[in-house]
Structure 1
Amino acid sequence: MLFIGLMSGTSADAIDAALVNLAGDDTEIIDYRQYPLEAGLQKSLRGINPSVSIEAVSELDGLLGRCFGQAALALLDANGTGADQVRAIGSHGQTILHLPWATPPRTLQIGDPNLIAGLTGITTIADFRRADMAVGGQGAPLAPAFHAWKFRSNRVNRVVLNIGGIANITILPCTPGEEVRGFDTGPGNTLMDTWIQQCMGRNYDEQGRWAAAGNIQQDLLKLMLSDPYFSAPPPKSTGKDDFNTAWIARCGDKIGSACRDEDIQATLLELTAASMAGAISTFSPATEEILVCGGGIHNTVLMRRLQS
């Protein structure tokens, strides 16, 4: 049975589109492609803040919905697959607000699924985060259900670490009946991405080279790691509403000492590695295997720090 999955992450630079065949316990990835978002749209998405008008957000909702629909059509065309062969499309949407600790909790994703369904003629399922919040969940992460289905072992205790804009882990005990847990560990790529965008105009730090040119500022790192989010027990989730350039600036102001831009990048990379490793050692001390996925795997410096 064929399905299409659509996703745009925290970086808001491209749409990930996957055509998959799900048959029983088997998963076949038929094709996976990235469709870059136009530079102006990227800038608009990254610029969403509380002062942006409802009209502007509504316009972006429609523009992004069309982009998602066009990505699905392009994926079908590339594989010679008809829309009538696809059972459904799952579209996460672009998160523009995620406040699980608010009263009431709230989250918002844009990328109108009605437009996706209209453009493709395929049943489209969306609004996953708000559906989870409606029954008492955090709204994120959503991947643990799939991780448990695909990667749980009856021999070893596993953790799946997903390094996206925000990093999350899924704890997969090997003992039958023991609960699967998943939560956000904190920033993945988001702080490093936003810092290099602000300082150098680049979308991301390729392979962590800029961070490697800097020196970790231990006082700043200690202050950052003291953020209450890192020690809070799961369930928990977070996003760019919590970890952003304003957060970096607040931490820097408290330290007071001047740092080179690359030193801050090196410190942000170390923060990312330390918070992920700390979450695993604290909340899943019996872990025997770690499976790592997400865009962060391409940051070789980050992966080395995580391993060490």
Structure 2
Amino acid sequence: MTVHRVAVLALDGVTPLDLAIPAQIFTARPETRYEMTLCALDAKVATTAGFALVADGGLEQVRTADTVVVPGFEPLLPLPDAVLGALAEARDRGRRVVSICTGAFALAAAGVLNGLHATTHWRHVDELERGFPAVTVDRDVLYVDEGDVLTSAGVCCGIDLCLHIVRRDLGAEVANEIARGLVAAPHRDGGQAQFVPAPVAVAGEASLSATREWALHRLDEALTLRVLARHAGLSQRTFMRRFGEETGTTPLRWLLGARLGRARELLESTDRSVDQVARDCGLGTAANLRLHFRRALDTTPTAYRRAFTRSASRGPARPPADPRSDRERPPRR
């Protein structure tokens, strides 16, 4: 399996949780063969939590990496010219460049985001928009995929983005396995709202996670809004409101994403026909499955199977020459 080098660039004032996300997800595993190196301008890096980190690599490893990830940091600007130059060079050489949270400010300062859509922590979207008018800031998404340049919103959205990258590289089965190890949601659509009004259940109200888990084991059944609300013991209106408060999306949109994720796993790991996969994931017909694959992934089930049944032997893929040919673009807000 081809080694795919990931450089996680820790800037002075790095946020430890932002840094831990790519370090954990891109650590070497038998099924991925990512090779992750913690890099910095200087060997010792201060964090926002008051302790320091020691980096194994420098900017040379950033320049030679296949993927460069910049976690969030504070204060945001200015940054050393050497750092900006290394990020710009990585972009110019066609490498994949990624930011988590306020790491987007480093990419923007290096010119990497010019002419592209991007996002950052919701507290800083106004600042990013004012400071970098050449960047189109998507304010209410978890992450933005522009092919070989990807940005995420605040902190834990970095988990969604990094798992999305693994899914692009190696398919849904590997990404879901890593997610299970992290006890994280295997897939959240990048177009979901990054700021959820009530991210945890309030006193006296139980989470709907049990209903979502129940539904995941019955994706091949007719799961209407009425069925889901009845399982939760709520009226449809209350269920819709609570579901949006907990997940930032609608029940039916969540269900479609879960069914597409299941379809991807079945295409990767079984030899079932496209018709059978469509039935097993709850999308009914092969034509319906093809329609949603084309809308969400800009590919067909057959092409997806052909690509990702080979991925286990070839290792993580580099970004395609045409970034529109192999990506899930979150809907614009």
Q: Is the pair's TM-score, using the shorter chain for normalization, greater than 0.5?
A: no
TM-score, length-scaled by structure 1: 0.31
Name whichever structure is richer in strand by fraction. Answer: 1
